């Protein structure tokens, strides 16, 4: 009896911990924590470069750093939550999304929607603590992602990837405008880099998940026009990235070398795909390369200003 009682007491103690762990797991899935984290890298890079080019000191502006990163994280997380609410009918047809709480029913859809709206509202108020421009740029990202991408283009046009790239290119601009609201060529180039990076990244993913998108009725390019056209378009998008680092020449020769090597390497890998017979294997390589490309490039921008 004593042993049974001890087991029961231990079980009671573990239940709250298990519940909290499950809650955070489901919350992370709803807000797409991976997307939030990757976008915060580009947000930070944009903000860091703004400090560098305007001559402001990072440590003297930690309040701006906090409100920028906190606000951007919540705006992105809120947008993803609303996206999950809207897409719950098609997510059930895809292997990578069918376990989301909005599909399994472990989180009530209405609560997910209100969570998204609340996060966007709080995030916008946080960005307003920096500059009005940063808050407006953040809302542009929300409107583009929720309305132009999720509600309109995603289910109707193969250009959905291009439309979605607008919102994905906003984070570094949020970071910059939180420090400096005036026009500058650097945030424009950061926006273009992010905008051009996303189509080859997501088209490679679409090739990997082609049958899932087909089952969900989403008109991704490889679903509608096949792999060959998708591969050609990926190569064109990657090629468009080649000249952009040279507009950031003030970051120094080492950065230009790193950026150019990354671009040329990605282009060569893309061209290799024209001869490679295993399209899915090539798509996986392109997808992994794109993830490493983004991280290395934006970290290199920060490191270049420290030297």
Say if 23 falls within a structural domain.
no
CATH value at residue 207: 1.20.120
pLDDT at 20: 78
169 lies in the same domain as 190:
no
pLDDT at 21: 81
pLDDT at 12: 46
167 lies in the same domain as 261:
no
- For residue 289, give its domain range: 183-306
Say if 129 falls within a structural domain.
yes
pLDDT at 223: 96
pLDDT at 41: 96
Q: With contact defined as beta carbons under 8 Å apart, do 297 and 262 qualify? A: yes
DSSP code at position 94:
S
Q: Which of 203, 201, 206, 205 is nearest to 295 (CA)?
A: 201
Say if 11 falls within a structural domain.
no
121 lies in the same domain as 193:
no
DSSP H stretches of helix in 178-220: 185-208, 210-216
Q: Which of 122, 272, 225, 156 is nearest to 164 (CA)?
A: 156
Say if 10 falls within a structural domain.
no
pLDDT at 298: 97
201 lies in the same domain as 296:
yes
- Provide the token pair at 80: 């993803």
What tens-digit pLDDT sequence spans the chain (307 residues)?
555 555 445 454 555 666 778 778 888 999 999 999 999 999 999 999 999 999 999 999 999 999 999 999 999 999 999 999 999 999 988 888 888 898 888 899 999 999 999 999 999 999 999 999 999 999 999 999 999 999 999 999 999 999 999 999 999 999 999 999 988 999 999 999 999 999 999 999 999 999 999 999 999 999 999 999 999 999 999 999 999 999 999 999 999 999 999 999 999 999 999 988 899 999 999 999 999 999 999 999 999 998 7
149 lies in the same domain as 75:
yes
Say if 137 falls within a structural domain.
yes
Listed residues 150, 182, 214: the one ending a domain: 182
Listed residues 135, 164, 182: the one ending a domain: 182
Listed residues 155, 182, 209: the one ending a domain: 182
Half-sphere exposure of 191 (CA within 13 A, CB side): 16
Say if 13 falls within a structural domain.
no
pLDDT at 8: 47
CATH value at residue 142: 1.10.357.140
95 lies in the same domain as 207:
no
As for how many domains the chain has, the answer is 2
pLDDT at 7: 44
């Amino acid at each position: 009896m004593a042993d049974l009682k001890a087991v029961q007491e231990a079980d009671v103690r573990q239940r709250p911990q298990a519940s909290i762990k499950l809650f955070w797991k489901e919350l992370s899935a709803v807000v797409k924590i991976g997307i939030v984290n990757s976008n915060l890298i580009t947000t930070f890079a944009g903000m860091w470069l703004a400090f560098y080019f305007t001559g402001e000191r990072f440590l003297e502006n930690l309040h701006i750093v906090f409100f920028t990163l906190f606000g951007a994280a919540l705006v992105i997380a809120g947008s993803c939550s609303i996206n999950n609410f809207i897409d719950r009918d098609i997510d059930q047809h895809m292997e990578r999304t069918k376990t989301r709480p909005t599909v399994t029913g472990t989180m009530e859809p209405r609560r997910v929607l209100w969570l998204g709206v609340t996060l966007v509202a709080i995030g916008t108020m946080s960005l307003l603590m920096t500059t009005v421009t940063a808050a407006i740029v953040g809302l542009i990202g929300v409107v583009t992602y929720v309305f132009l991408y999720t509600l309109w283009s995603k289910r109707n046009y193969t250009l959905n990837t291009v439309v979605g790239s607008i919102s994905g290119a906003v984070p570094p601009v949020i970071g910059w405008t939180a420090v400096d609201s005036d026009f500058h060529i650097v945030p424009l180039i950061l926006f273009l880099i992010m905008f051009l990076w996303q189509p080859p990244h997501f088209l490679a993913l679409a090739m990997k998940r082609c049958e899932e998108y087909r089952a969900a009725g989403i008109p991704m390019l490889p679903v509608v026009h096949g792999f060959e056209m998708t591969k050609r378009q990926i190569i064109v998008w990657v090629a468009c990235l080649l000249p952009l680092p040279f507009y950031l020449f003030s970051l120094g020769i080492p950065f230009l070398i790193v950026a150019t090597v990354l671009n040329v390497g990605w282009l060569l890998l893309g061209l290799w795909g024209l001869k490679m017979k295993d399209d899915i294997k090539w798509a996986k390589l392109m997808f992994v390369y794109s993830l490493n490309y983004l991280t290395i490039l934006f970290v290199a921008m920060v490191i270049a200003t420290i030297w």
